């Protein structure tokens, strides 16, 4: 196993294996006949016992014995002693099977089933476990069974915690013992037991405990994983928190014809509103929540709003739980008076109902207030008006500079707003993180340990997130980026993970302050216009492999992510204002990776040229059709058949599911394996609003 070459068996060993296989086939045949005809005689049970002793993984044999026990229990003449004798025999069969393979799922499950019937003594179970745990201290089956037995014996969690401490003291490398310790401690902290609330003292002692293991053997991973769990317990907030919104609190939204301008007298955003003339309202939480509705989120305004707001989770897996939620303010049927300001106030957290996936309630009452005013009356877009082509050339982007209010240029002074909703972290948490940073700097000075570098990067990131409201910048970002760059070289096997973490760090650094964000902002100027249009956020050539910090990018309408290493755009669905997106020169292997685009209804311009779409085959044996996307919802076969006719286009299903809900006017797909003439013809049919395809204007 694990890459070791197999040795040819000796003749005597081959003969023994052949005899064992023949015996197993014979027992299997007899057992299946007994099972089929529901024969539960003493001889039939002995056959199943012999079969399980040779092959403890025979689930059917374990189920057969359950049926046999239920059969005997149904006999009215069975007295208590007979019943106990039946269950004791089952325990013996399990014990014999475990001697052959003490990691048998079926055997341990059957033993749990027997004890759950409450006819057998459980006094000797811990002694049996100790024998198995001495044979293999890291046997997670035995540890899982121990938790089951401890609950039956009503052993205190404190006693079990002491037991894990003894086991770890004997061997720091016992990962299963560390894991069991985290389960027990989580329960004690959650239930706020005496001595474990507040959690500061308990966690501080755990840090000291794990330091002994890490400094004794820095190359063993068991303690490192436990340290990661401790770090999560130290920094996480149980209750969900609202971290961002659009429109941001205190902003002004100006409607000018069919354009939406965001700012205080200065145009921060300028774009065509969608055909339905809707304005998205976005709530972004630090974790996935459910229960966002008109009863838990109240919208108050002087606008003539009819009916309740319908809040939708922005989730690509059709879940009712999501980190980002959106509703739409329909302005088409409203009589908005020019030069009048309409205050809008959104309140949440004033009633129960918003709950995280872990069961914690949103309990931080908060309000988001912004103003909506009309500068020019809305006019319908001219019918048949030709769409302009958007170019992504460098000459179409001008370096952004701050401007005075009298200038016609754009400003990003209010794109990043301070969020006073995020709860402040305790001084204890900051002190613990600072101390851990000192400890691991000392450890790395003694040994060049890659998992030590990874832990230091995580600690520095946690310290930045804790101190960010005071420091106003990511102080350790450059060091963290350097650590992940080193890890990619030191540990190429896990390079994708390190690159993803580096990308998240870089995006946090870019979006953390106005100054850093402005560096990547450009004024977009159309070739036919003399005045710059709206702002484009250009994040190209940064080696990004994963998107993050989306909560700081809800305002973005034009985004350039070209020349990176992206394989997924998960999270991008929260950017409901996005109208122009450049994903060219990345590593997208299929249209499944572009699934978040389905939720961005404002998207008009998309460039996915020079990726790897069509280069990687999909294992169609796993699906009824060629795309896993098809299993997310009912597939619209009728519309698909109308578009494709009788042509065999199984490779087009993914593209159809991504594009059929979009209203794209410009699409670039050249440079992908799939981009042949038949696929282009399909796109023209699937996207009726499309005016430009691969740089060519459509008739």
For the stretch 335-379, pLDDT in tens is 777 778 889 999 998 888 999 988 889 988 889 999 888 776 656
Identify the pLDDT of residue 1: 42
Instruction: Check pLDDT > 80 for residue 410.
Output: no
- The answer as to whether 406 is a domain residue is no
Same domain, 168 and 29: yes
Determine the length of the chain.
Answer: 699
Same domain, 223 and 316: no
630 contacts 637 by C-beta, under 8 angstroms: no
Identify the pLDDT of residue 9: 67
Task: Quote the CA–CA distance of 165 and 160 in Å, as a whole number.
Answer: 9
Task: Quote the CA–CA distance of 426 and 423 in Å, as a whole number.
Answer: 9
Burial class (CB in 10 A: 0-12, 13-18, 19+), 635: middle
Structure-block tokens of residue 103? 């990691």
Q: Which residue has the higher pLDDT, 667 or 377?
A: 667
- The answer as to whether 422 is a domain residue is no
Question: Of 20-29, 226-235, 301-310, 479-488, which gets the smallest average pLDDT?
Answer: 301-310
User: What's the CATH number where 256 sits?
Assistant: 2.60.40.1220
Q: Which domain holds residue 49?
A: 24-234
The tally of domains found in the chain comes to 4
448 contacts 411 by C-beta, under 8 angstroms: no
φ, ψ for residue 374, nearest 5 deg: -110, 125
Give CA angle at 334 (333, 339), nearest 5°.
Answer: 145
Question: Which residues are bridge partners to 535 per DSSP?
Answer: 523
DSSP-based three-state secondary structure for 556: coil
Q: Which residue has the higher pLDDT, 694 or 277?
A: 694
In sequence order, the 6+-apart residues with CB closer than 8 A to the CB of 384 are none
- Percent residues over pLDDT 90 in the chain: 52
Structure-block tokens of residue 395? 């000459």
pLDDT tier at 406 (50, 70, 90 boundaries)? very low
For the stretch 525-543, pLDDT in tens is 775 554 456 789 999 999 9
Terminal alpha carbon distance of the chain: 62
Question: Which residues are bridge partners to 283 per DSSP?
Answer: 245, 325
- The answer as to whether 418 is a domain residue is no
For 613: left if phi > 0, alpha if psi spans -120 to 50, otherwise beta; the answer is beta
Same domain, 135 and 199: yes
pLDDT (mean) for 315-344:
84
- Domain boundary at 379, 411, 441, which? 379
225 contacts 175 by C-beta, under 8 angstroms: yes
pLDDT (mean) for 423-432:
76
664 contacts 690 by C-beta, under 8 angstroms: yes
Identify the pLDDT of residue 672: 95
Same domain, 622 and 666: yes
Task: Quote the CA–CA distance of 685 and 97 in Å, as a whole number.
Answer: 63
pLDDT tier at 21 (50, 70, 90 boundaries)? confident
- The answer as to whether 19 is a domain residue is no
Q: Whole-number mean pLDDT of the chain? A: 84
> Residue 164: how many CB atoms within 10 A of its CB?
22
Question: Hunting for tokens 């004890």 — which residue is that?
Answer: 115
Smallest Cα–Cα separation from 519: which of 404, 412, 390, 414? 412
Same domain, 216 and 195: yes
Task: Quote the CA–CA distance of 375 and 254 in Å, as a whole number.
Answer: 7
pLDDT tier at 39 (50, 70, 90 boundaries)? very high
For the stretch 485-498, pLDDT in tens is 999 999 999 999 99
- The answer as to whether 17 is a domain residue is no
Same domain, 277 and 202: no
Same domain, 687 and 671: yes
Identify the pLDDT of residue 8: 66
Identify the pLDDT of residue 277: 65
User: What's the CATH number where 133 sits?
Assistant: 1.25.40.120
Identify the pLDDT of residue 129: 87
Task: Quote the CA–CA distance of 612 and 615 in Å, as a whole number.
Answer: 5
pLDDT tier at 209 (50, 70, 90 boundaries)? very high
Side-chain half-sphere exposure of 577, counting CA atoms within 13 A: 29
Task: Quote the CA–CA distance of 311 and 329 in Å, as a whole number.
Answer: 11
Structure-block tokens of residue 146? 């121990």
Question: Of 2-11, 198-207, 421-430, 583-592, which gets the smallest average pLDDT?
Answer: 2-11
Task: Quote the CA–CA distance of 17 and 38 in Å, as a whole number.
Answer: 31
Identify the pLDDT of residue 384: 52
311 contacts 293 by C-beta, under 8 angstroms: yes
3-state helix, strand, coil split of the chain in percent (to 5) is: 45, 15, 40
What is each CA distance from 623 to 86, 330, 619, in whole angstroms?
45, 39, 8
Instruction: Check pLDDT > 70 for residue 617.
Output: no
Same domain, 227 and 247: no
Task: Quote the CA–CA distance of 579 and 568 in Å, as a whole number.
Answer: 19
350 contacts 299 by C-beta, under 8 angstroms: no
241 contacts 285 by C-beta, under 8 angstroms: yes
For the stretch 120-166, pLDDT in tens is 888 889 888 888 888 888 888 999 999 999 999 999 999 999 999 99
How does DSSP classify residue 622? G
In sequence order, the 6+-apart residues with CB closer than 8 A to the CB of 334 are 303, 304
- The answer as to whether 479 is a domain residue is yes
Same domain, 463 and 571: no
- Domain boundary at 194, 210, 234, which? 234
- The answer as to whether 409 is a domain residue is no
Same domain, 154 and 219: yes
Handedness of CA 439, 443, 445, 450 (dihedral sign): negative
How does DSSP classify residue 599? G
pLDDT tier at 275 (50, 70, 90 boundaries)? very low
Task: Quote the CA–CA distance of 454 and 664 in Å, as a whole number.
Answer: 42
For the stretch 622-646, pLDDT in tens is 444 445 554 555 556 566 666 666 5
DSSP string, 628-689: GGGGSS---HHHHHHHHTTS--GGGHHHHHHHTT---SEEE-TTSTT-SHHHHHHHHHH-TT
264 contacts 279 by C-beta, under 8 angstroms: no
439 contacts 430 by C-beta, under 8 angstroms: no
For the stretch 165-207, pLDDT in tens is 999 998 889 999 999 999 999 999 988 888 888 888 899 999 9
Burial class (CB in 10 A: 0-12, 13-18, 19+), 38: exposed
User: What's the CATH number where 612 sits?
Assistant: 3.80.10.10
DSSP-based three-state secondary structure for 662: coil
Side-chain half-sphere exposure of 200, counting CA atoms within 13 A: 10
Side-chain half-sphere exposure of 72, counting CA atoms within 13 A: 21
Same domain, 224 and 248: no
Instruction: Check pLDDT > 70 for residue 431.
Output: yes
Identify the pLDDT of residue 134: 82
Smallest Cα–Cα separation from 261: which of 250, 272, 245? 272
For the stretch 503-512, pLDDT in tens is 999 999 999 8
Structure-block tokens of residue 335? 């009589």
Instruction: Check pLDDT > 60 for residue 46.
Output: yes
Identify the pLDDT of residue 381: 55
- The answer as to whether 431 is a domain residue is yes
Q: Which residue has the higher pLDDT, 653 or 411?
A: 653
Same domain, 574 and 463: no
Task: Quote the CA–CA distance of 259 and 85 in Å, as a whole number.
Answer: 82
Smallest Cα–Cα separation from 291: which of 240, 328, 340? 240
Identify the pLDDT of residue 640: 65
Task: Quote the CA–CA distance of 47 and 615 in Å, as a whole number.
Answer: 53
Identify the pLDDT of residue 624: 43
For the stretch 456-486, pLDDT in tens is 999 999 999 887 655 556 899 999 999 999 9
The model carries a pTM of 0.84
- Domain boundary at 234, 262, 278, which? 234
């Amino acid at each position: 196993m694990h890459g070791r070459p197999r040795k040819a068996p000796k003749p005597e060993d081959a003969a023994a294996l052949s005899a064992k296989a023949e015996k197993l086939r014979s027992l299997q045949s007899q057992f299946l006949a007994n099972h089929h005809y529901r024969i539960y005689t003493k001889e039939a049970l002995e056959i199943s016992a012999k079969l399980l002793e040779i092959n403890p993984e025979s689930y059917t044999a374990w189920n057969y014995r359950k049926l046999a026990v239920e059969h005997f229990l149904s006999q009215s003449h069975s007295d208590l002693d007979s019943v106990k004798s039946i269950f004791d025999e089952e325990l013996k069969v399990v014990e014999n099977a475990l001697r052959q393979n003490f990691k048998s799922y079926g055997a341990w499950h059957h033993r749990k089933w027997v004890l759950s019937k409450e006819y057998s003594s459980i006094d000797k179970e811990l002694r049996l476990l100790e024998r198995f745990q001495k044979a293999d201290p890291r046997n997670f089956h035995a540890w899982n069974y121990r938790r089951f037995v401890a609950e039956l014996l009503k052993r205190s969690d404190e006693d079990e915690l002491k037991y894990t401490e003894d086991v770890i003291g004997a061997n720091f490398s016992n990962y299963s013992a560390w894991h069991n310790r985290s389960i027990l401690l989580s329960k004690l902290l959650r239930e706020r037991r005496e001595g474990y609330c507040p959690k500061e003292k308990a966690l501080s002692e755990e840090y000291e405990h794990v330091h002994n293991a890490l400094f004794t053997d820095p190359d063993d991973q068991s303690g490192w994983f436990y340290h990661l769990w401790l770090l999560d317990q130290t920094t996480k907030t149980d209750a969900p928190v609202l971290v961002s919104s659009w429109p941001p609190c205190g902003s002004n939204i100006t409607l000018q014809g069919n354009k939406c301008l965001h700012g205080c007298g200065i145009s921060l955003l300028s774009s065509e509103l969608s055909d339905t003339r809707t304005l998205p309202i976005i709530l972004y939480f630090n974790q996935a929540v459910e229960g966002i509705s008109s009863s838990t989120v109240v919208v108050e305004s002087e606008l003539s709003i009819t009916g309740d707001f319908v809040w939708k989770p922005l989730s690509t897996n059709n879940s009712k739980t999501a980190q980002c939620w959106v509703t739409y303010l329909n302005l088409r049927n409203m009589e908005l008076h020019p030069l009048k300001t309409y205050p809008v106030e959104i309140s949440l957290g004033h009633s129960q109902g918003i709950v995280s996936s872990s069961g914690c309630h949103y309990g931080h009452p908060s309000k988001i207030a912004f103003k909506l005013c009309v500068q020019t009356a809305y006019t319908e877009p001219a019918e048949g008006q030709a769409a302009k082509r958007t170019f992504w050339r460098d000459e179409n982007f001008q370096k952004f500079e701050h401007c005075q209010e009298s200038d016609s240029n754009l400003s990003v002074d209010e794109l990043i707003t301070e969020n006073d909703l995020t709860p402040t972290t305790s001084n204890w948490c900051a002190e613990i993180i600072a101390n851990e940073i000192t400890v691991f700097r000392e450890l790395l000075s003694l040994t060049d340990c890659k998992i030590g570098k990874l832990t230091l990067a995580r600690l520095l990131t946690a310290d930045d997130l804790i101190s960010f409201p005071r420091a106003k910048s990511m102080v350790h970002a450059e060091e963290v980026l350097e650590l992940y760059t080193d890890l990619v070289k030191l540990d190429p096997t896990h390079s994708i993970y390190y690159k993803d973490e580096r990308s998240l760090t870089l995006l946090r650094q870019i979006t953390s302050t106005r100054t850093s964000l402005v560096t990547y902002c450009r004024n977009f100027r159309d070739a036919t216009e003399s005045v710059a249009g709206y702002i484009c956020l250009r994040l190209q050539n940064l080696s990004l492999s994963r998107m993050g910090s989306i909560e700081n990018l809800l305002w973005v309408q034009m985004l350039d992510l070209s020349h990176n290493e992206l394989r997924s755009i998960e999270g991008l669905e929260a950017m409901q204002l996005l109208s122009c997106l450049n994903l060219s020169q990345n590593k997208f292997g299929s249209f499944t990776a572009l699934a978040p685009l389905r939720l961005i209804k404002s998207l008009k311009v998309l460039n996915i040229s020079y990726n790897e779409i069509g280069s990687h085959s999909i294992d169609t044996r796993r699906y009824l059709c060629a795309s896993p996307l098809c299993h997310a919802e009912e597939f619209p076969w009728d519309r698909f058949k109308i578009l494709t006719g009788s042509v065999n286009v199984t490779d087009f299903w993914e593209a159809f599911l991504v594009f059929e809900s979009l209203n794209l006017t410009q699409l670039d797909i050249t440079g992908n394996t799939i981009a042949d003439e038949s696929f282009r013809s399909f796109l023209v049919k699937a996207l009726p609003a499309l005016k430009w395809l691969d740089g060519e204007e459509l008739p």
